[in-house]
Chains A and B, each alone.
Chain A
């Protein structure tokens, strides 16, 4: 009980409360090998292979791309139609023991509305067969900053609070792997930032964290690795900047400002690494056919033309362009 009081005191003081006996989690892994899931004629997940590592991995894709199905496969909620889905070398399907290592935050809003936040998290803790469910409950509730609201019924919670209590429930047993389906839904910016910090800190401690989202900004700020899923297929995986770089057949766009835009434009047009040039608003928008050679050629061209470069902004490094590009393929 004293740990519970300590946890509450820490929460009141606004200080994060860490367990002293943090487990080593370097062994945690989630591996998919040629995993597919189909329902009759509809293929939701199509031959996906990857291995999740400690840290934060973002799952990106349009609605209906199969992100939730993928998460459910990892979570052992669905049986793979073919291929394997393994957690720590064990299949996730039909294997309740695997849930000691996994925490799941589903997307659906409905959470036992008649339970209080604390009761819900405690239920999770008890079902995880933890030796001290009360301490775990307090710790988890404090981690999501819901200590004061924890005694209200979940039915009275706002959408963002419900999301957070779900996360608390998933964190109660301090799992090595955390799966979150659209976790930032309904959170206001402050809550979102807090959640991002929480997940980043967890990732640094060795947790494997996977989360799906539509909001590209979260991936930008949080995800080290990105898995892009389109129509059930893995369209891209890895560091998102690397993914972008790999796609050299798409023209890259740059925005330039120089001392003499028009002269530079004329000079650039002559070079074969340049596909198109547009003069707008005191800026030069250049579409480069080949990013590599353009970046080498640009300073050379500018110097030969006697134009000074003031600003060079690569225009579409963002996930947005990667994503929409992949979708269009």
Chain B
């Protein structure tokens, strides 16, 4: 019986995030990696496994991890509370004898899931197109990165949306800066091998929310702890903020 509170909040939030034709945009976004993969395979001619791997990593690094994933996390993460805050309907959820952590948990899980659903299917299909099979260590690694990244981005932008009305815009500036920085970093790496790519990603990602656990060892260990830390901080922050959120009068 207590489960139905979270389930109800999750269901309404899901419809808020992906209902009423918003799923179309999510679909289009998820098809972008597929389109790129398809073009590679049909127009690029025959390619050896190294080239395929290089391309896939490049695709993930420049399109998915630095652009698509943070954007999806931003849009869904800020919308989880933000839509209702803007519309003035959050008060219906707040004025209930439900612990604030349960509300945050339900909305965070939904936002993270929505992000995963926006990004991951496209990545999987792209991998299948490129490699011919989903059984690929690169795909597994990047899928994990997408999952972790989805949760983290959703959490960060969720708490941000509770702290400021301009969360979406601020998050957007972050994504622009992040994408700009990384695109400069990668433009000079055309001729590197997969391993170098993966190492570069891990290096770059160590300072960022998304960890690509491709390299065994210390690197990924630190990244995991960092991720857990950020998630805890963001979630705790959201719960604390929700407790003292004042419902303003009408605009």
Query: Which residue numbers of A lie inside 8 Å of B, CB to CB?
Result: 68-69, 72, 75-79, 94, 96-100, 102, 104, 106-108, 110-112, 114-115, 123-124, 126-129, 131, 133, 169
Contact = CB atoms under 8 A, between A and B. Distances in A.
Interface in B32-78: none
A129 B5 contact: yes
A103 to B, nearest CB: 8
B111 to A, nearest CB: 17
B92 to A, nearest CB: 7
A124 B8 CA distance: 10
A78 B247 contact: yes
Contacts of A72: 247, 249
A124 B91 CA distance: 11
B88 A123 contact: no
Interface in B59-117: 87-89, 91-100
A96 B92 contact: no
16 contacts: A77-B95, A77-B247, A78-B247, A79-B244, A94-B243, A99-B95, A100-B97, A104-B91, A104-B95, A106-B88, A108-B250, A112-B12, A115-B12, A126-B8, A127-B93, A127-B96
Given A110-B89, A111-B89, A114-B20, A76 B95 contact: yes
Nearest to A115: B12
Given A108-B250, A110-B89, A96 B8 contact: no
Q: Is the interface of B mostly helix, strand, loop or mixed?
A: loop
A94 B244 contact: yes
A113 to B, nearest CB: 9
Contact of A126 (B5, B15, B94, B95): B5
Given A124-B92, A126-B8, A99 B97 contact: yes
Contacts of A69: 249
Contacts of B12: 112, 115, 123
Nearest to B8: A126
Interface in B138-185: none
Contacts of B5: 126-127, 129
Contacts of A124: 92, 96
B135 interface: no
Contacts of B95: 75-77, 99, 102, 104
Q: Which 3 A-B pairs have the closest CB atoms?
A: A77-B247, A127-B96, A108-B88
Contacts of A94: 243-244
Nearest to B2: A129
Contacts of A68: 249-250
Given A76-B95, A96-B98, A124-B96, 10 more contacts: A75-B247, A77-B95, A110-B87, A111-B89, A112-B89, A112-B92, A114-B20, A124-B92, A126-B5, A128-B96
B96 A96 contact: yes
Contacts of B92: 111-112, 123-124, 169
B194 interface: no
Given A77-B94, A94-B244, A96-B100, A127 B249 contact: no
